[in-house]
Amino acid sequence: MEDLALHIPTDVIDGPTSLVTALIAAIAVAWCTVAARRGLDERLVPLAGLATAFIFAAQMLNFPIAAGVSGHLLGGALAAALLGPWLGALCVTVVIVIQALLFADGAVTALGLNVANMALIATFTAYGVIALALKVLPRTRWGLGAAVFAASIVSVVAASAGFVLQFWVGGEPVGQSFGAIAGAILGTHVLVGIGEGVITAGAVTAVAVARPDLVHALRGTPLAQPAPAVKEAS
Amino acid sequence: MSAVDGLHRPGDSPLHRLRPQVKIVALVAFTCAIAATPREAVWAFGVHALILAGLFALARIPAGWVFTRSLVESPFLVLALAFPFMVEGPAVHVWFLQVSEPGLWAGWNLLAKATLGVWAALLLAATTPVAGVLAGLSRLRCPEILLQITAFAIRYAHLTVAEVTQMRLARLARCDDPRFLWQAGALARSLGTVFIRSFERGERVWQSMAARGYTGRLPLEVGPAPASALQWTAAMTAPAVAAAVAAWTAVNA
């Protein structure tokens, strides 16, 4: 869950690639805003604001993985499952912009790249996987958990694949070693994705048991076999 | 103060007094100049670093703070260290290792530009409060709806982060020993609870806003202040020098 590794710094990817990606990302974010407003109209600002604050808190939650290594969530799958693709991508975008401008995390010239990978690719692939998986899997706690778990892994790997693609187009020409670098990046992120998946699946099923109406992926229908009433832990 | 307030260090230096929109534009221009500098012009990176060091001194930001905060880019340094062994090209001997020359340049390029980029961004983050950054973005015609969401997010992130911290403390106080995988269950359930609370708070906030007559627009008549020509000139000096150095080295390379 080494999220920092995905915040691309200055000039790892060349100018033209960054510009084109930034343009695509800007159009996609604008589209997300329009789509999210269609669902929420004037409730958009407070609800999206609070949802972003939640993603922010989820990312702040550092937990020790092993000696000296601590990780935190990327949040793409979490946002997709709970908020849906449009609002979810919008919220993660805002988090990434805040991190670039207020925390110097990721270069301002690479903002478009970072938004494309972590907000757009991660959230939309996660939502796609959840929607497909819920067609096959039973609509129970475990079915939902498994769908979200798989979606988290796919979304993290897809986000890193986005970086690999950008690196292939506009990064250092590394020749034959490209395969090795790509393999190392994708392999690491499978592990990252498993960690992200465990936490995300747990969080989403916890919400689904207590307030199924708040889980966007369930589309307003409660789980098939509701577990015995679980109180909100605090 | 909490982790949500960014890296702002309150102060009263000329850099703190600059209008935020000026600083944002200067940051983007400076980062572009860094990115455009050819990697073989080692001295040019020295000039960029000197400019930034001078500005840090002007803003009275200690060097130790800058170095600690620069660690944010450390994962990419692994990539920089891998380049000399992975990029193809004529080999050179460094000490006892055999590495490729273009690879060494690529590693240096990544290292230097990433570090300078982080330093430039730290300069903005350290001298501008959160509200200032948002006001600056608003002056720069950033879509209002995104800025409003961001403002709400930062305001309420204090609360959600405090809630997460409080839950962790509560678990610790009840003899929870968070380690490796065993903490995942409790962590995930806490997150679920925080989400429910956040969403419900969002609905309450919207209801209060609706009760006060909110119809989708914030009634803000006082916009952020414009910056004077003097401020623009002063702030753009640093990126202009950097861009001149970058252009000069690119032409003479």
The Cα of A50 is separated from the nearest Cα of chain B by a number of Å equal to 5
Average pLDDT, integer, range A82-98: 89
HEC per residue, chain B: CCHHHCCCCCCCCHHHHCCHHHHHHHHHHHHHHHHHCCCCCHHHHHHHHHHHHHHHHHCCCCHHHHHHHHHHHHHHHHHHHHHHHHCCCCEEEECCEEEEHHHHHHHHHHHHHHHHHHHHHHHHHHHCCHHHHHHHHHHCCCCHHHHHHHHHHHHHHHHHHHHHHHHHHHHHHCCCCCCHHHHHHHHHHHHHHHHHHHHHHHHHHHHHHHHCCCCCCCCCCCCCCCCCHHHHHHHHHHHHHHHHHHHHHHHHC
Nearest CB to B86; choose among A91, A180, A204: A180
Mutate one of A3, A10, A163 to test the B interface: name it (highest B CB count within 10 A): A10
Average pLDDT, integer, range A106-113: 82
CB atoms B161 and A10 under 8 Å: no
CB atoms B117 and A175 under 8 Å: no
Average pLDDT, integer, range A24-30: 90
CB atoms B74 and A4 under 8 Å: yes
Could you tell me which chain A residue has the CA closest to the CA of B161?
A57
The dihedrals phi and psi of B61, each to the nearest 5 degrees, come to -110, 120
The Cα of B230 is separated from the nearest Cα of chain A by a number of Å equal to 24
Q: What is the CATH number of domain A3-218?
A: 1.10.1760.20
Could you tell me which chain B residue has the CA closest to the CA of A70?
B180
Chain B residues close to A4, C-beta within 8 Å: 72-75
Reply yes or no on whether the pLDDT at A133 is more than 50. Answer: yes
**Which pLDDT belongs to residue A126?**
93
Share of chain A residues as helix, strand and coil, in percent rounded to the nearest 5: 75, 5, 20
- More confidently predicted of A218 and B23: B23
Mutate one of A1, A6, A11, A55 to test the B interface: name it (highest B CB count within 10 A): A11
ipTM for this model:
0.82
Could you tell me which chain B residue has the CA closest to the CA of A15?
B35
For residue range A46-64, what is the model confidence (pLDDT) as tens digits?
Answer: 888 888 888 888 877 665 5
For residue range A141-152, what is the model confidence (pLDDT) as tens digits?
Answer: 888 999 999 999
pLDDT confidence of A130, banded at 50, 70, 90? very high
Nearest CB to B191; choose among A46, A58, A100: A58
For residue range B215-231, what is the model confidence (pLDDT) as tens digits?
Answer: 767 666 566 778 888 88
**Which pLDDT belongs to residue A225?**
59
**Which pLDDT belongs to residue B136?**
86
Could you tell me which chain B residue has the CA closest to the CA of A108?
B28
B81 and chain A in contact, CB less than 8 A: no
**What does the mean pLDDT of chain A come to?**
81
3-state DSSP assignment of residue A178: helix
- More confidently predicted of A158 and A68: A158
- More confidently predicted of A103 and B98: A103
Residues 169-198 of B with CB under 8 A from A: 170, 178-181, 183-185, 187-196, 198
Chain B residues close to A64, C-beta within 8 Å: 178-180
Residues 87-116 of B with CB under 8 A from A: 87-88, 106, 109-110, 113-114, 116
Chain B residues close to A63, C-beta within 8 Å: 178, 183, 187
**Which pLDDT belongs to residue B68?**
80
CB atoms A105 and B149 under 8 Å: no
- More confidently predicted of A131 and A74: A131
**Which pLDDT belongs to residue A3?**
39
For residue range A160-213, what is the model confidence (pLDDT) as tens digits?
Answer: 898 888 888 877 776 667 888 788 878 878 888 888 888 889 889 988 888 888
Q: What span, in angstroms and rounded, lies between the C-alpha atoms of A18 and B211? A: 44
**Which pLDDT belongs to residue B245?**
85
B4 and chain A in contact, CB less than 8 A: yes
The segments of chain B whose pLDDT lies below 50 read 1
Reply yes or no on whether the pLDDT at A92 is more than 70. Answer: yes
**Which pLDDT belongs to residue A121?**
92
The DSSP element (H or E) to which A71 belongs, if any, is strand A69-71
Please report, for chain A, the start and end positions of each structural domain, with discontinuous segments joined by +. 3-218
